[in-house]
Chains A and B, each alone.
Chain A
Amino acid sequence: MQKSWRRRFHLPAVIGTIPMILVAVGVFVIGIGFSVLWSFTSSKLFPTYDFVGLAQYRRLWSDSRWLVSVNNIWFFGLMSITCNMVFGYLLAVFMDQRIRQEDLFRSIFLYPFAMSLIVTGLVWQWVLDPNLGLQAALRNLGWSSFSFAPLVDADTALYALVVAGIWQGSGVTMAILLAGLRGVDEEIWKAARVDGIPTWRTHMSIVAPMMKGAFATAFVLQCVSVVRVYDLVIAMTGGGPGIATSMPAVYVIQLITVRQNVGQGMAAATMMLLPVLVVLAFSGILLWRRNREASA
């Protein structure tokens, strides 16, 4: 008994991971626990323990801003993840053609990811502002009927956010997928060529499936950045015009800080946690089943 315990937990390893364990338990588990707990209370500015059951959730799901936020995140997520993966892969294939100045191009494509979204978001906002940016510039050059102001129209502002999100996210997807592409053995390409398989078919049926790991990493990174999208919205539209580009994370921060309504904000935060938990549980079950099959 004692022996097996010792074999499982090497003392140096345990000591080494204690800080990480403390952070994980302290920040994530306890923090999330309080968020969930307070979502059942009537907390306003100061957290209290006056429990009101599901009242905050009922208020949340009747708040039109929250409903708009939920719709927006689905649209934004589907559009930006799909486009990022497709563009990222195409860029990676392009970079893999042994082009000249590869380092330069890689820096250019990675640059949007390296810079703060507050800075790039503000630049996007200025470029798209009808009185300062592209529209004003072209009108000053004489094209007086030119009209391009996506951010100020409630119907198009979300598309502008998606475009900025793609511009920001496809570079890093490219970097990950390029590493995956480079990991594919040159012999496989040669063999495919000898067999006379067209290049696109090699990509689709042989190389891409071999890069499962790289795709999964890129996909998870994209999902995480979609769920917590905040700074892009704040810098570009502030959630507007009206509430047209509000997102769940923006909503939560707005409720906790500005609206002084911690209870409802925590209810929204808990709702944001749910899909993540479902995904975690799903992958946990898969892992468990695979382990059991392996050990059986």
Chain B
Amino acid sequence: MRYKLLTAALAATAALQLAGPAAATDLEVIHWWTSKGESAAVSQFAKAFDNDGHGDKWVDSAIALGETARSTVMQRVLGGDPPGAAQFNPGRQYEELISGGKLLDLTDVATAGRWDEVIRPKAIGSACLVDGHWWCVPVNIHSNYWAWYSKPVFEKAGVPEPKSMADFIAAAPKIKEAGLIPFAIGGDGNGWQIQLLFQDMVTEALGVAKRDEMYTKKSAEIAGGPEMKGVFTQLRTLKQFTDNGYANRNWNDTTNLVITGKAGLQVMGDWARGEFAAAGMTGVKDFGCMIGLNEAKPVVSTDGDIIVFFKQDNPDVEAAQKRLAALLISPEVQVAFNNAKGSMPVRGDVDMSAADPCMQKSLKAVEDPSNIVTATNRFITENTNQQINELVSQYFADDSMTADDATAKFGTIIGNSD
């Protein structure tokens, strides 16, 4: 009798769980999309998920600065309380999460959505497809190879708009004479903005093939070579054209200097375009964009963002995670998100007729595979990434460090990287 009761009670609870409509599920998502343009973009995800017809709810955990957000996620995972989903950059930032078995396998969602066919270029998908399993959803393609400039500033200084960094360096003294900041940069977050500029200059100086060889073979020889010394020398030249408020400035405040016509040019990924758009500017008369630091040699990198989902013991949460994964890559959401964000959609079968002139440049460049540069994050771990941050920001801040010293140190970092 007693057992019967118990069994009945058990059966009843089981039936309740099965029968009820998929319970309203809250899913916490940690990301670092905190600027004006970025929050406009991420709200597209939240809106779509909240209205997916299953009563799901996007719980937004926005943490300013990528390295802070990523370390928060890692600490939550280590503490046994991972969020539902989290943003990373495609590459090696989450490789230990995969090998440690912390991530939800999304292969069935990917098969149903034919991700291997719709995601282009293939290099974007490969950031998530590891050993035949899908571990994350690529949501956009950002290129780090852009420079943004204020047309009014160049007009005021009486210099032609730049077509390459060489043009800009030639024009910079005139902008300084006009009482404006020629080169806008920020040094927050261990100096990641300086490294972004540095990496763009590295690719420009070494060429794509030699740069890839340096990172894949961890060649201290190339990293300590004469081309790299040239890069460090040029970095010092650019520093002379910055303002002294750069030290702790974040990227969107830096972009704002260009938007408001206080500074001439900023080298930043195309998420900066979202800031111009959020400020109501178009790329025709207010601001210009220089692709690949050299209009004659356009390049587009396969940087961007991916979303990972953490294993949870609750099947309801897992179902909601998979619904969100499918939603993030669906054509409508891709268009809405990427138009606000300034990035390219990860699928080629969507209508991007609303894209502005800068976006048109990158859509055109991405068609030719030889223009595509592999994201630096694919080659290096977060440890190496931060070491490079420290080196370039120390060099940038400390004028007593010579280009030879810096080149030698860069060679050591690359030679010892894993």
Do A and B interact? yes
Closest to B66 in A: A258
A130 is an interface residue with CB less than 8 A from chain B: yes
- Contact yes or no, B383 A261, CB < 8 A: yes
- Contact yes or no, B409 A44, CB < 8 A: no
- Contact yes or no, A244 B96, CB < 8 A: no
- Contact yes or no, B394 A238, CB < 8 A: no
B190 is an interface residue with CB less than 8 A from chain A: yes
List chain A residues, Cβ under 8 A from B396: 241-242
Stretch of B25-33, B69-77, B304-312, B346-354 at the chain-chain interface = B69-77
Of A45, A62, A237, A259, which contacts B386 at CB under 8 A?
Answer: A259
- Contact yes or no, A258 B386, CB < 8 A: yes
Q: Report how far A130 CA is from B190 CA in the complex, Å.
A: 20
List chain B residues, Cβ under 8 A from A88: none
A239 is an interface residue with CB less than 8 A from chain B: yes
- Contact yes or no, A243 B248, CB < 8 A: no
Closest to A239 in B: B190
Of B190, B248, B381, B387, which contacts A260 at CB under 8 A?
Answer: B381
- Contact yes or no, A242 B394, CB < 8 A: yes
Interface of A is mostly: loop
- Decide: A242 near B383, CB < 8 A? Known: A237-B247, A258-B67, A258-B70: no
Q: Report how far A131 CA is from B243 CA in the complex, Å.
A: 10
Question: Among the interface residues A46, A59, A254, A259, which one has the most CB atoms of the partner chain B within 10 A?
Answer: A259
Interface of B is mostly: helix
List chain A residues, Cβ under 8 A from B386: 254, 258-259
- Contact yes or no, A241 B75, CB < 8 A: no
Min C-beta distance of B45 to chain A, whole Å: 26
- Contact yes or no, A257 B398, CB < 8 A: no
Min C-beta distance of A106 to chain B, whole Å: 34
- Contact yes or no, B397 A244, CB < 8 A: yes
List chain B residues, Cβ under 8 A from A238: 188-190, 248
B20 is an interface residue with CB less than 8 A from chain A: no
List chain B residues, Cβ under 8 A from A46: 78, 96, 100
Min C-beta distance of B414 to chain A, whole Å: 14
- Contact yes or no, B245 A240, CB < 8 A: no
- Contact yes or no, B393 A241, CB < 8 A: yes
Of A44, A241, A259, A260, which contacts B247 at CB under 8 A?
Answer: A241
Number of interface residues of B (CB under 8 A): 37
Of B383, B393, B398, which contacts A259 at CB under 8 A?
Answer: B383
List chain A residues, Cβ under 8 A from B247: 151-152, 237, 240-241
Q: Report how far A192 CA is from B188 CA in the complex, Å.
A: 58
Min C-beta distance of A261 to chain B, whole Å: 5
B244 is an interface residue with CB less than 8 A from chain A: yes
B108 is an interface residue with CB less than 8 A from chain A: no
B395 is an interface residue with CB less than 8 A from chain A: yes
B404 is an interface residue with CB less than 8 A from chain A: no
Within 8 A of B (CB), among A172-211: none
B382 is an interface residue with CB less than 8 A from chain A: yes
- Decide: A260 near B383, CB < 8 A? Known: A149-B244, A240-B397: yes
Q: Mark B241-252, 1 if CB is under 8 A from A, else 0.
A: 001111110000
List chain B residues, Cβ under 8 A from A258: 67-68, 70-71, 190, 382, 386
Min C-beta distance of A135 to chain B, whole Å: 9
6 new A-B contacts, CB < 8 A, other than A242-B191, A242-B394, are A45-B100, A151-B248, A153-B244, A241-B398, A244-B394, A254-B190
**Interchain Cβ contacts under 8 Å between A and B, 25 examples:** A44-B381, A45-B74, A62-B412, A63-B387, A64-B409, A65-B394, A125-B248, A130-B243, A149-B244, A238-B188, A240-B248, A241-B393, A241-B396, A241-B397, A242-B187, A243-B394, A244-B398, A257-B71, A258-B67, A258-B190, A259-B382, A259-B386, A260-B382, A260-B383, A261-B383
The residues of B with any CB-CB pair to A shorter than 8 Å are 67-68, 70-71, 74-75, 78, 96-97, 100, 187-191, 243-248, 381-383, 386-387, 390-391, 393-398, 409, 412, 416
> Nearest 3 A-B pairs (CB), nearest first?
A242-B397, A242-B394, A241-B397
The residues of A with any CB-CB pair to B shorter than 8 Å are 44-46, 59, 62-65, 125, 129-131, 149, 151-154, 237-244, 254, 257-261
